[in-house]
Amino acid sequence: MKRIVQILSIASLLWVPFYAAAEKAPKSLAAGSSGRGLCDENFGNYRERLHKDPNDTAAWQELRVCAELLKRWGEAGAISTAAIERGIQRPEPHMILGMAHYRMKDYASALDDFKEAVRIKDDQAIAYFQLGLTYLHLNQPEDAVAAGVRAAELEPTNSAYHHQLAFSYFLVHEDEKCEIEAKRALEIDPNDIAAYKILNSLYTRQGKKDLAAQMLEQSIHANGRVAAAHPFVPDKQLTEADMPHPFKVATPVSDTEIFLKAQWEKMKSVGVTGDVEATASFYSVDGTQEVYRQSFQKMGPARMQQVFSKLGEISDCELDTSNSYATCRCPVNGGSGTMLETKVRLIKDPDHIWRIKAF
């Protein structure tokens, strides 16, 4: 079981902003730097707007985009549930409800929602992409392959679809197809961090140590390029009271997650000073520490300050069954009013100290 959980922690690296994988914000939301202001202004109107006209395609699209920008999936899910209960036969409410369930880690319900969205309209690449992600979380890689193939067929120029398919192939040991899809993702987007990490895992499994090391280093450089190119827009944090039933937060933050957050913040505070050795000390002693030390030396103090100042707080940490490996979400200040997210992986080293494995 531990091996499966660790592999799925790589799957979590495949997460990309939902609307970014699917489409750009509608023109009506594109005014200003990110559309967040318009989303804040308009979000309360979507319930009434979609109740009056459930076939308003633009409204559904805007609701989906705004739910991601503002992290208000609970409210968007409630709006979608109301439409479904009225018998509305459109894929959008099922997609949005699926995302609400997915964000709450109710993957079984999310799977049913995405399947229904595909049944109603079977030419949506994003629906198959989300279906594939859900299958991965449910440890059904063969089904994830089928969904990934369809997503990549429908939208062959989206790197996220190819790297997700590559990871699915990795899990079913289709090594040649895995390598092909990961390289396709990198042809589309040379900064596709997940694709580099998938190739690193593939080459490590194949015993190709030099190639694996190259891919790990490339993932670090790509992460730095992405972080420097796009700014961070802080998420709207919802309290439990803000989230309508049945989308209330079920699990409080654990003591371990509080400690991991503290470790992450200490690392960032040292990283912005440009102190290479002190920063590297927060990384795992299993060989990772030396890789990051060399990377920091290449960056230099100015570049380190730039990179680490753009990293936000970690949250939503998932631990494996042995409580010795964790994957957390981390927002990244990217630039031009956009918001990105990376995954921070932490591991409990042999000396029982939690250190960073990768981000």
Domains, the chain, in order of start with CATH, read 2-250 (1.25.40.10), 254-359 (3.10.450)
Given this model, what pLDDT does residue 247 score?
34
When pLDDT is cut at 50, 70 and 90, the band that residue 335 belongs to is: low
Among 113, 121, 27, 34, CA closest to 76: 113
The SS3 assignment for 311 reads strand
- Asked if the model's pLDDT at residue 6 lies above 50, the reply is no
Judge whether 151 and 14 are in contact, CB under 8 Å. Answer: no
Judge whether 168 and 139 are in contact, CB under 8 Å. Answer: no
- Asked if the model's pLDDT at residue 34 lies above 70, the reply is no
Given this model, what pLDDT does residue 310 score?
80
Least confident of 93-107, 117-131, 324-338: 324-338
State how far the Cα of 207 lies from the Cα of 265, in Å rounded to an integer.
35
Given this model, what pLDDT does residue 348 score?
86
Residue ranges of E strands in the chain: 315-319, 325-335, 338-348, 354-358
Given this model, what pLDDT does residue 230 score?
52
Judge whether 347 and 327 are in contact, CB under 8 Å. Answer: no
When pLDDT is cut at 50, 70 and 90, the band that residue 311 belongs to is: confident
Q: Exposed, middle or buried by CB within 10 Å (0-12, 13-18, 19+), for 221?
A: middle
Mean pLDDT score, 48-53: 90
Give the pLDDT confidence of 255-271 residue by residue, as tens digits. 777 788 888 888 988 88
Full strand arrangement of the beta sheet holding 325-335? 315-319, 325-335, 338-348, 354-358
Average pLDDT, the chain: 79
Output the CA torsion sign for 95, 101, 106, 109. Answer: negative
Q: Which two tokens stand for residue 102?
A: 């997915």
Higher pLDDT, 17 or 89: 89
Judge whether 158 and 181 are in contact, CB under 8 Å. Answer: no
- Could you tell me the end-to-end alpha-carbon distance of the chain, in angstroms, rounded to an integer? 23
Q: Which two tokens stand for residue 56?
A: 């308003």
Neighbours of 121 (CB within 10 A): 14
State how far the Cα of 191 lies from the Cα of 228, in Å rounded to an integer.
12
At residue 94, φ and ψ (nearest 5 deg) are -70, -35
Higher pLDDT, 308 or 322: 308
Among 104, 100, 172, 95, CA closest to 129: 95
Which residues fall within 8 angstroms of residue 268, CB to CB, at 6 or more apart?
308, 311
Neighbours of 207 (CB within 10 A): 8
Give the pLDDT confidence of 230-246 residue by residue, as tens digits. 544 444 444 444 443 33
- Asked if the model's pLDDT at residue 201 lies above 50, the reply is yes
Please identify which residue in the block is written with the tokens 């633009």: 58
State how far the Cα of 351 lies from the Cα of 359, in Å rounded to an integer.
21
At residue 356, φ and ψ (nearest 5 deg) are -80, 130
Given this model, what pLDDT does residue 333 score?
67
At residue 236, φ and ψ (nearest 5 deg) are -80, 120
State how far the Cα of 124 lies from the Cα of 158, in Å rounded to an integer.
13
Given this model, what pLDDT does residue 69 score?
79
Mean pLDDT score, 137-142: 93
